[in-house]
């Protein structure tokens, strides 16, 4: 089955800095890579996703890049704000059930 | 309107008891899921149902029994609760089987004493 590694487990930045979270996956047949944000006391919420036929996707301050050859993908958040503080999960999907990484706790200090 | 709603949000109970968590989605989705999130935040799939039919059962003890009376509801019943069952349980749904985008509920925190 698919295995997803996510780093770092904790990321602390100052407001306005950029944050990068990296994930690797094991199964080269995986073709869908979503990112979820989980705020305290809430369920994960999809923030951006990318499919294997695209190398990069951007939505305002958030971007995701995918390197199929190396089997890794990354989430980039620019101009971080305190409300970006949350746990972020990457996932890779081969069939219809995504395999999640172990999460990154992002802390943005004002 | 809440898209995926779970009840109860908090549940505290003694070892050996039986408890249920209910989930309802008003999105018209065909597929529903139960995930378990442990204390280290790891999200693990437990079950998946598509149009009331069980699709996935990921090596979950048979003390856990999901039930889907219709495609908008997926309930989770747990028998003989153990300390290790303490976790946050998330219900989720997706439009159709094979659609990867999940909509999660707010979670149900189960504490077994």
Do B64 and B75 meet the contact criterion of CB atoms below 8 Å apart?
A: no
Q: Do A97 and B105 touch (CB under 8 A)?
A: no
Instruction: Give how far Cα A84 sits from Cα of A7, A51, A79, A109, Å.
Output: 17, 24, 10, 10
Residues of chain B neighbouring A49 (CB-CB closer than 8 A) = 100-101
Closest partner CB to A43 (pick from B45, B56, B105) = B105
User: What is the 3-state composition of chain A as percent helix, strand, coil, each rounded to the nearest 5?
Assistant: 5, 55, 40
Q: Could you tell me the CA-to-CA distances from A55 to A18, A94, B17, B36, B42 in Å, in that order?
A: 20, 17, 50, 31, 27
For the residues of B54-71, what is the DSSP string, one character each? EEEE-S--TTEEEEEEET
**Angstroms from B53 CA to nearest CA on chain A:** 15
Query: Does A96 sit within 8 Å of B100, measured CB to CB?
Result: yes
- Judge: A103–B41 Cβ closer than 8 Å, yes or no: yes
Could you give the CA distance from residue A6 to residue A74 in angstroms, rounded to a whole number? 9
pLDDT, one tens digit per residue, over A82-92 is: 999 999 999 99
- Confidence band for B52, pLDDT divided at 50, 70 and 90: confident
Answer yes or no: do B107 and A87 touch at CB < 8 A: no
Task: Indicate yes or no: CB of A41 within 8 angstroms of CB of B106.
Answer: yes
Q: Which residues of A touch B48 (CB under 8 A)?
A: 96-97
Q: Is B10 on the interface with A (CB under 8 A)?
A: no
Does A35 have pLDDT greater than 90?
yes
pLDDT band at B105 (very low <50, low <70, confident <90, very high): very high
Cβ contact A34–B101 (<8 Å): yes
Cα separation, A47 vs A95, in Å, equals 20
Checking if the pLDDT of B38 tops 80, the result is yes
- pLDDT given for residue A1 in this prediction: 77
Residue indicated by tokens 């309107």: B1
Which of the four pLDDT bands, split at 50, 70 and 90, describes residue A54? confident
Which of chain B's residues have a Cβ under 8 Å away from the Cβ of A42?
106-107
The minimum CA-CA distance between B79 and chain A, rounded to whole Å, is 25
Instruction: Identify which of B48, B92, B100 has the shortest CB distance to residue A34.
Output: B100
Q: Do B107 and A42 touch (CB under 8 A)?
A: yes
């Amino acid at each position: 089955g698919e295995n997803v590694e996510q780093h770092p487990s904790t990321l602390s930045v100052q407001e306005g800095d950029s944050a990068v979270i990296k994930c690797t996956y094991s199964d080269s047949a995986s073709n869908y890579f979503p990112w979820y944000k989980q705020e305290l006391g809430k369920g994960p919420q999809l923030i951006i996703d990318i499919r294997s036929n695209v190398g990069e996707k951007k939505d305002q301050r958030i971007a995701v890049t995918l390197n199929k050859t190396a089997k890794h993908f990354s989430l980039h958040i620019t101009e971080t704000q305190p409300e970006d503080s949350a746990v972020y999960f990457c996932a890779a999907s081969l069939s219809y059930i995504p395999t999640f990484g172990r999460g990154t706790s992002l802390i943005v200090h004002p | 309107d809440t898209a995926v709603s779970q009840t109860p949000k908090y549940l505290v109970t003694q070892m050996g008891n039986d408890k249920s968590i209910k989930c309802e989605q008003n999105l018209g989705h065909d597929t529903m899921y139960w995930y378990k999130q442990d204390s280290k935040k790891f999200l693990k799939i437990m079950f998946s149902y598509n149009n009331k039919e069980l699709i996935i059962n990921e090596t979950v003890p048979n003390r856990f029994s999901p039930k889907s009376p219709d495609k908008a509801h997926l309930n989770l019943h747990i028998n003989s609760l153990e300390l290790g069952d303490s976790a946050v349980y998330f219900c989720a749904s997706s439009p159709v089987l094979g659609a990867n985008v999940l909509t999660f509920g707010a979670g149900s925190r189960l504490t077994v004493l």
